[in-house]
Amino acid sequence: IDKCDKELVKIFERRLNAVLDVLEYKRKHALPIFQGQREKEVFKKVNSYLQNDEFSNELDLLYGQILKISRQVQSKALFPFNIIIIGFMGSGKTSVGMELSKLLEMKYMDTDEIIIKNTNMSINHIFEKFGEGKFRELEANTLEDLQNINNTIISCGGGIILNPKNIKLLKQLGKIIWLKVSPNEAYNRLLGDSSRPLLKDDFSLTNLTNILEKRLTLYENASDIIIETDGKNFGEICDEIIKNLLKCDSKI
């Protein structure tokens, strides 16, 4: 077994170095980097190398991990920064952030979720009991606590840009992606959802538009990359984010 492990580690290192070489080649030739189809082919191919089908499930388990690790090594090399997602309520920050974290094998965090976990209260309840001011204080503290994290996708509450100090912290933390959404689309996506305290008492297009318009320049000034989300699905939005990130400077 010791001998096998020694061989395995050697080959594992060789595979990861090959992954990085291929990455360099793809980058140079502007080829797509994260290809789901190629992963499916790898599973098929490695199964055909098995001499005894008895270990087919174990091989799938092993390759599931190997492919995940390969993706992680690639995204670490490509994006040596955190990816921060900002945007209005209903712009898709959570869904896009989670999808992106799967694609890039990066960790995922959500400032609202951290607040909910730390206080053991819903956002609505915090607003009702302590007011918006207290929520903004908790939001700013949450962000301050995140200053030492890396390789993480951070999805932020829609109002995080209201505090200039938060914007400064976000800029130090990583690349900021603004998921832009029109008032109509946000309205349609949020219909029937009562988890947003700012829209709870007056869920109307007028109220939503008023809040959104006041924030437009704040989102714009804070962002490194702007993605229009109207009419696009999460997969398309993630592809666009990756394409844009590949074009930008790796320093923050």
Residues that bind ligand S3P (CB under 6 A): 89, 93, 112, 123, 157-159, 196-198
- 116 Cα distance to chain centroid: 19
| Sign of the dihedral defined by the CA atoms of residues 139, 148, 177, 19, in that order | negative
Q: Which is nearer to ligand S3P, 157 or 174 (CB)?
A: 157
> Reduced to 3 states, what is the DSSP secondary structure of residue 182?
coil
Q: How far apart are CA 200 and CA 59, in angstroms?
A: 51
Residues 96, 236: Cα–Cα separation, whole Å:
10
Could you tell me the smallest distance in angstroms from the CB atom of residue 207 to ligand S3P?
Answer: 12
- Of the two residues 70 and 91, which places its CB atom closer to ligand S3P in the complex? 91
Q: How far is the CB of 177 from ligand S3P (least distance, A)?
A: 14
Q: How far is CA 27 from CA 24, 30, 144, in A?
A: 5, 5, 34
Cβ proximity to ligand S3P: between 99 and 112 the closer is: 112
Sheet arrangement for strand 107-110: 107-110, 152-155, 82-86, 174-180, 225-228
Rounded to a whole number of angstroms, the minimum distance from the CB of residue 126 to ligand S3P is: 9
Q: Whose Cβ is closer to ligand S3P: residue 93's or residue 180's?
A: 93
Q: Which is nearer to ligand S3P, 175 or 196 (CB)?
A: 196
User: What is the closest distance, in whole angstroms, from the C-beta atom of residue 159 to ligand S3P in the complex?
Assistant: 3
Minimum separation from the CB atom of position 107 to ligand S3P (A): 18
One-letter amino acid of 86: I
CB-nearer residue toward ligand S3P: 19 or 153 = 153
Q: How far is the CB of 125 from ligand S3P (least distance, A)?
A: 11
109 vs 88: CA distance, rounded Å: 17
d(Cα 158, Cα 88) in Å, to the nearest integer?
5
211: its two tokens? 């809040």
The answer to whether the Cα torsion of 213, 231, 242, 155 is positive or negative is positive
Cβ(119)–Cβ(138) below 8 Å: yes
